Structure 1
Amino acid sequence: MATNVLRNRPLWLKLLAAFVLLLAALAALLAFFPWDTLREPINRYVSEKTGRKFEITRRLDVGIGLRGATVKADGIEFANPPWARDPYLVKAERAEFDIRLWPLITQKVVIPRLALSSPTLGLQVEPDGRRTWALGKDTSDPGTVPVIGLMQVDGGAVDFLAKHLGVDLHADVSYDTSRGRLPLSFRIKGRYKGQPLSAEGRTGNVLQLRAAGQPPFPLEVDGAAGHTRLKASGTVTDLADLDGIQARFDLKGQTLGALFPLLGIALPETSPYALSGDLRKSGKLWEVAGLKGRLGLSDIAGDMRFDKAGQVPHLAGELRSKVMDMDDLGPLIGLPPTERSAKAVEGVAPPPTIKQVKRAAGAKVLPTATLDFDRLRAMNADVKYAAERIRNVRDVPLDHGSVQIKLNNGVLALDPLDLGVGGGKLAGAIRIDATQNPADIRASLDLRNMQLNRLVPKIETMRSSFSRLDGRINLSGRGNSVASWLGGASGDVVALTGRGRFSNLLLEFMGLDGAEIIKFLLRGDQNVELRCAAMAFDVDKGVMTSRSMVLDTADTVFYATGQANLATEKLDFVVRPEPKDASILSLRSPLVIGGSFGAPTGGVQAGPLAERGLAALVLGALNPLLALAATIETGPGQDADCKGVLAEAQKPSAGAAAVGAAKAKGAKKP
């Protein structure tokens, strides 16, 4: 009866029943299959396919599912290629991993989960692309690299070597459930980017190397590379690409410039720093929000973004300081930080300071350190910076400042550059083309409405009241340091002022007027009317030649001529006073200013002074009272043509000075 029923059923139902029975039989076979009998054949097969020894040393078991399989191996040894330093890619007491079956058809290895017990890993990468973890015989083929999702370990060690990248690291890992949500701890020693590195930290027991859609795992790290120290705490979703980072960090170091070899971010040389903020990474975009801290004696705050998605990485952001200390600007132009600045950040070993680096006799004042323009080609940038107050400016009365820094294909532009100086403004642009060697550097700066009594605060204590100063600097040239650029620059430098008042004491000492000095000592300082003043230079290949140097007062007109050599830093000026008043006890002779920038010298011109001294000596021999006749000044000086003086100072001479000034003006935005 039953037989008849089965015979009467449709054919498709018979086939389905047979297929189900076959699957059941296959499942039973797989469940009870003695997988360990395949251990030796698998060892031989993997060894032959990869070209290196693979061995499951004790026991093998496999669980088969519809989409994948779970492989359990007691004792596993997988050798590295013969060119590797470490003998084993992996050696572990036990290994368990899930593997996708269908990708194997296209020879792609996908391992969603890998668990290792007491492993030692030997990872190495070579300049030609060879990697020890590539599974095929061609270890430079990226298609042979397995895709690993979650990785679990309960202790062990990892070595990673990449000599061409300056990386040689050893990590020890331990696992302890009593540590709560961060049971896995690690310690790292070695070198990174050529610098000594040490780090320690904790994570969850599951490392998400590539685990899309999985919750992030926690991570804490405290490490140091050279003089740079990092503390961070947060979460990561993709360890292989360092993606999905959400972390709070504290960063300290001697100079931000040291981050370039570590992170590839071309930051300038700075004083020691301590910064903190919130770090996020999504894909190729790194973001720092709420950045705050110190750069030497200055505070710093803002937000930054570093995008590596394009062919050239791009840095952008806005930074600000409530107080910026001038001592912190030295490293930007090749000077070491001052002792104050070098010791301003607790926990950072101070770099060499100005006091520790003694200037040799005859050494230059202008910074000669070669600026690292090569790193300007490593990225592009657009960063704005503003300082509400500038302090410790010594004799330069800077009040506040702001600048927009743009870096595009190796060309750096500080434009606009805006500084508050002595109640006025210094504004303009500086452009550095680092695609050329030496770099093409152009500076175009205009000074407007600066109060002269703030420029010379010592004279302000003499109750002086100066007029306002205008000026400009237009210089262009080539160089790889501040000194080499100025030593070959061309253009013009101008400073102009109109009517005002200031102390006559300076004038009388400059003119060596004994009677006026005596009057000052008896009656006190007196203010003198300033009619006009101009100081203009033509600059030709580093030589500043006076074009117009006039100081006209109600008492005296001073005319000056000479040169300042920016290459040799030598001074050679003669100042000729032409008094407008009659006076006795006057030994007015031309003043000679010489020496160098670092050691200037000054004095009267010997010839005219000697003539008056000899006359006084002869007359004094006849009658002491007649000696005074040789020191009487009849005052032949005349008022200067102030309008003509200021007009002449405004125009650079033809030739290299005019060409250099025109090039410098090209640094500004059109």
Structure 2
Amino acid sequence: MALAVLIVALVLLAIFFPWDMLRGPINRYVSEQTGRRFEITRRLDVKPGFRTASITLDGIEFANPSWAREPLLVGAERAEIDLRLWPLLRKEVVIPRLVFNKPRIGLQMEEDGRKTWALGKTDKGESGGGTTPKIGLLQVDGGHLDFLAEHQGVDVRVDFAFDPQKGDMPLSYNMKGSYQRQALSADGSTGNVLLLTQAGLPPFPFEIHANAGATRLDAVGTMAALTELDGVDAKVKLRGRNLGDLYRLIGVALPDTSPYRVEGRLLKNGKTWEAKELAGKLGLSDIGGELAFAQGAERPKLTGSLASKVMDMDDLGPLIGLPPTERSAKAVEGVQAQTTLEQSRRSRGDVRVLPTAPLDFERLRAMDADVRYSAQSIRNVREIPLQRGSVQVVLDNGVLELKPLDLGVAGGSIQGAVRIDGSKQPADIRMAVDIRALQLNQLIPKIESTKSSLGRLDGRINLAGQGTSVANWLGAASGDVAAMTGRGQFSNLLLEVAGLDGGEVLEFLLRGDKNVRMRCAALAFDVNKGVMTGRTLLFDTDDTLFTATGQASLKDETLDFVIRPQPKDKSILSLRTPLLVRGHFGDPKPGVEAGPLIARGAAALALGAINPLLALAATVETGPGQDADCAGALAEARTPQSPAAAQAAQRAQAVKR
């Protein structure tokens, strides 16, 4: 009986104890233990329990350490705190519920690990080792929060407003500042109770509309835990100038793209984010599929499958360092690329065509990936007949592989692999591509005179080298490039124009064009440190044999070729002379070799002085050309001649295995 009376007495004492008398001692004790000023400014009330004490603070000010920008860690008109008692014996602070009325919260992190909310008299927070309270539910009625992490480029202020008439999401917020050193603005609303850590309660609703730099996010859904952004289930809309910008914002290394707009469902459970039901546009191309981003392992990994019904070739430029074209830049409403390809070339005042922008190898080292992409059809403004495409993108510890790469082109295919080892400086880059059964009449449909042409084109590209951009990789690469075709048909009119045979051209204009049998053709180059030297350059028909010599420099983007037509028939009004192809990749300069042409012209003038009809004798073509050894020429085209080119080609081919 005495024990029961004692217990009742203790309970009544706890209930009716004048707790406010302890306000001064508590202020001094907390200030002494944390090394910061702590003050309950008006009144203290406590409702003790066996496990949890409910504490009401009427007016509170808790200072930040001296190095912080904001003077207060927390200041509020009123605070209600549920405090677990038993964890205090282990020097742990567990707060299942925290309610603030008109709070002023100042949070700050430093690069050395200091955090303003890590508590300790000796300021173990200086090294991030102080006691950090574990908070479950947070309820805010108005006020604002400042957060600064200068080393991460984060400096934001969030203002809160509470309106109970707004239903499920009475707490609205407005955010201004910078994130990852980009201007940030956001607004939205949420439930009046925020789950900082999961506490077995239903997720709280949220809505957000945010702009970070050129990226726009709209999302509405629910969240279970705010500190870990866990239990997210939301419908999202995302748009911006470049998917590559997301690396700076969220750490996911996506490729550079044209302006985009995409929407879908975003989920997060534990350490894995999932983007499902994706649908949208990347420039002129549509995109859809699913992605997952797992953060739990030593290196985060992106996996998934993406597909396009129609992919436009203009949208591939940013992948290799080119700005979007004007068409792609304007394809997504409300978003436009900062600089287009056309603007970039005009500003440089040159005609370089190879991408010179440095490739971002830091992103390759930031995560791993295994993503498949396919396009049902491929559209291209330049009328190259790409019909379909697929590729598997595998990124492992800084090594990127596009393997297998499969494109349907002109009734045939281009298959192979690309490997970029971004763990090396400069990156080791290899490409091995096989060209199989491309149909000539589909490959060059813009030239009217070749629409009835027939023939099959095969070839390969095997290049290996080091570089930091597509341009300087190609400018230093070695290997083998070849394209070959056997029997077919070709326009005779086109041949005679190329051979400067006026008599044949006149005849065909009067009687109509006809096809001539093509015996073989080959364009094969040994590539050594960016210089493509022709080893087999010929085009042989029943009418004319064209052979060529020369080289192209991938480093300087220049051309220097001499094409020699050798007619196999007799003709008059012929001014056949070697043809020249010089200049720049973006501005080739075709012409004729002046010496033979001047000699024929001088002879015509001399004979014309005797008799005008004799002038025609200087333009008579006796047709000395002979059939090429097609079997030998094609065999030569298949094998690099220089040891450096052959060795580099073998290194490149290894990526297909």
Q: Same fold (TM over 0.5)?
A: yes
> In 2, distance between residues paired with 1:459 and 1:117?
76
What is the identity, as a one-letter code, of the residue corresponding to 1:250?
A: K
Asked whether 1:310 is paired with 2:297, we answer: yes
- Aligned pairs for 1:353-392 (under 5 A) are 353-359=340-346, 360-392=348-380
Provide Cα deviations, 1:431-488, integer angstroms capped at 9, x if missing partner.
Answer: 0011111111100000000001111113355542221100000001111111101101
> Secondary structure of the equivalent of 1:98?
strand
Deviation of the 1:543 alpha carbon = 0.4
Indicate which of 484, 488, 491 corresponds to 1:500.
488
Q: State the identity %.
A: 63
> In 2, distance between residues paired with 1:240 and 1:415?
39
Which residue of structure 2 aligns with residue 295 of structure 1?
282
Deviation of the 1:134 alpha carbon = 1.4
- Whether the 8 Å contact between 1:108 and 1:143 is mirrored in structure 2 is no
Indicate which of 190, 195, 200 corresponds to 1:208.
195
- Whether the 8 Å contact between 2:380 and 2:386 is mirrored in structure 1 is no
Deviation of the 1:509 alpha carbon = 1.2
Asked whether 1:105 is paired with 2:89, we answer: yes
What is the identity, as a one-letter code, of the residue corresponding to 1:387?
A: A
CA gap 1:513/1:520 in 2 versus in 1, 3 angstroms: same
CA gap 1:459/1:67 in 2 versus in 1, 3 angstroms: same
- Whether the 8 Å contact between 2:532 and 2:554 is mirrored in structure 1 is yes
> In 2, distance between residues paired with 1:187 and 1:599?
53
- Aligned pairs for 1:447-526 (under 5 A) are 447-460=435-448, 463-526=451-514
> In 2, distance between residues paired with 1:435 and 1:293?
33
- Whether the 8 Å contact between 1:540 and 1:657 is mirrored in structure 2 is yes
What is the identity, as a one-letter code, of the residue corresponding to 1:435?
A: S
Asked whether 1:88 is paired with 2:75, we answer: no
Asked whether 1:646 is paired with 2:634, we answer: yes
> Secondary structure of the equivalent of 2:298?
coil
Which residue of structure 2 aligns with residue 9 of structure 1?
none
> Secondary structure of the equivalent of 2:77?
strand
> Secondary structure of the equivalent of 1:355?
helix
> In 1, distance between residues paired with 2:568 and 2:74?
95
- Whether the 8 Å contact between 1:459 and 1:503 is mirrored in structure 2 is no
Which residue of structure 1 aligns with residue 29 of structure 2?
45
- Whether the 8 Å contact between 1:280 and 1:287 is mirrored in structure 2 is yes
- Whether the 8 Å contact between 1:572 and 1:593 is mirrored in structure 2 is yes
- Whether the 8 Å contact between 2:143 and 2:159 is mirrored in structure 1 is yes
Matched pairs, number = 653
> In 1, distance between residues paired with 2:370 and 2:34?
49
Indicate which of 418, 421, 426 corresponds to 1:433.
421
Indicate which of 602, 611, 616 corresponds to 1:623.
611
What is the identity, as a one-letter code, of the residue corresponding to 1:33?
A: F
> Secondary structure of the equivalent of 2:605?
helix
Indicate which of 404, 418, 443 corresponds to 1:416.
404
> Secondary structure of the equivalent of 2:556?
coil
Which residue of structure 2 aligns with residue 551 of structure 1?
539
User: Bigger shift: 366-375 or 45-54?
Assistant: 366-375
Deviation of the 1:85 alpha carbon = 0.4
Indicate which of 107, 128, 132 corresponds to 1:145.
132
Which residue of structure 1 aligns with residue 242 of structure 2?
255
> Secondary structure of the equivalent of 2:446?
helix
Provide Cα deviations, 1:41-83, integer angstroms capped at 9, x if missing partner.
Answer: 0000000000000000111111111111001110111011011
> In 2, distance between residues paired with 1:403 and 1:36?
71
> In 2, distance between residues paired with 1:605 and 1:500?
29
Indicate which of 44, 53, 74 corresponds to 1:69.
53
- Aligned pairs for 1:114-193 (under 5 A) are 114-137=98-121, 138-139=124-125, 140-142=127-129, 144-193=131-180
> Secondary structure of the equivalent of 2:59?
strand
Which residue of structure 2 aligns with residue 344 of structure 1?
331
Asked whether 1:634 is paired with 2:622, we answer: yes
- Whether the 8 Å contact between 1:616 and 1:630 is mirrored in structure 2 is yes
- Whether the 8 Å contact between 1:77 and 1:88 is mirrored in structure 2 is yes
> In 1, distance between residues paired with 2:451 and 2:409?
20
> In 2, distance between residues paired with 1:521 and 1:468?
28
CA RMSD of aligned residues (A): 1.1
> In 2, distance between residues paired with 1:463 and 1:354?
31
- Whether the 8 Å contact between 1:36 and 1:59 is mirrored in structure 2 is yes
> In 2, distance between residues paired with 1:445 and 1:463?
27
> In 1, distance between residues paired with 2:532 and 2:655?
21
Which residue of structure 1 aligns with residue 388 of structure 2?
400
Deviation of the 1:362 alpha carbon = 3.9
User: Bigger shift: 424-433 or 580-589?
Assistant: 580-589
> In 1, distance between residues paired with 2:228 and 2:94?
17
- Aligned pairs for 1:595-614 (under 5 A) are 595-614=583-602
> In 2, distance between residues paired with 1:463 and 1:424?
17
What is the identity, as a one-letter code, of the residue corresponding to 1:266?
A: A
Asked whether 1:35 is paired with 2:19, we answer: yes
TM-score, structure 2 length as denominator? 0.98
Provide Cα deviations, 1:114-150, integer angstroms capped at 9, x if missing partner.
Answer: 0111111011111111111112132134450000000
Indicate which of 542, 546, 569 corresponds to 1:581.
569
- Whether the 8 Å contact between 1:227 and 1:349 is mirrored in structure 2 is no
Deviation of the 1:358 alpha carbon = 3.6
Which residue of structure 1 aligns with residue 9 of structure 2?
25
Q: Structure 1 segments of 4 or more deviating over 4 A?
A: 460-463
> Secondary structure of the equivalent of 2:244?
helix
Deviation of the 1:623 alpha carbon = 0.9
Provide Cα deviations, 1:151-177, integer angstroms capped at 9, x if missing partner.
Answer: 111110000000001000000001011
What is the identity, as a one-letter code, of the residue corresponding to 2:436?
A: R
- Whether the 8 Å contact between 2:441 and 2:450 is mirrored in structure 1 is no
Deviation of the 1:654 alpha carbon = 3.2
> In 1, distance between residues paired with 2:87 and 2:248?
39
Deviation of the 1:631 alpha carbon = 1.1
- Whether the 8 Å contact between 2:119 and 2:130 is mirrored in structure 1 is no
Which residue of structure 1 aligns with residue 181 of structure 2?
194
Deviation of the 1:370 alpha carbon = 0.9
What is the identity, as a one-letter code, of the residue corresponding to 1:485?
A: W
Which residue of structure 2 aligns with residue 264 of structure 1?
251
Deviation of the 1:639 alpha carbon = 0.9
> In 2, distance between residues paired with 1:365 and 1:385?
26
- Whether the 8 Å contact between 2:449 and 2:494 is mirrored in structure 1 is no
> In 1, distance between residues paired with 2:33 and 2:58?
22
Deviation of the 1:20 alpha carbon = 2.2
> In 2, distance between residues paired with 1:467 and 1:564?
26
- Whether the 8 Å contact between 2:61 and 2:72 is mirrored in structure 1 is yes
> In 1, distance between residues paired with 2:192 and 2:383?
60
Unpaired runs of at least 5, structure 2: none
Deviation of the 1:593 alpha carbon = 1.1
User: Bigger shift: 406-415 or 625-634?
Assistant: 625-634
What is the identity, as a one-letter code, of the residue corresponding to 1:105?
A: L
> In 2, distance between residues paired with 1:647 and 1:639?
16
What is the identity, as a one-letter code, of the residue corresponding to 2:6?
A: L
> In 2, distance between residues paired with 1:51 and 1:73?
20
Please tell me whether Structure 1 or Structure 2 has the larger radius of gyration of its CA atoms.
Answer: 1
Deviation of the 1:405 alpha carbon = 0.3
- Whether the 8 Å contact between 2:445 and 2:451 is mirrored in structure 1 is no
> In 1, distance between residues paired with 2:2 and 2:449?
110
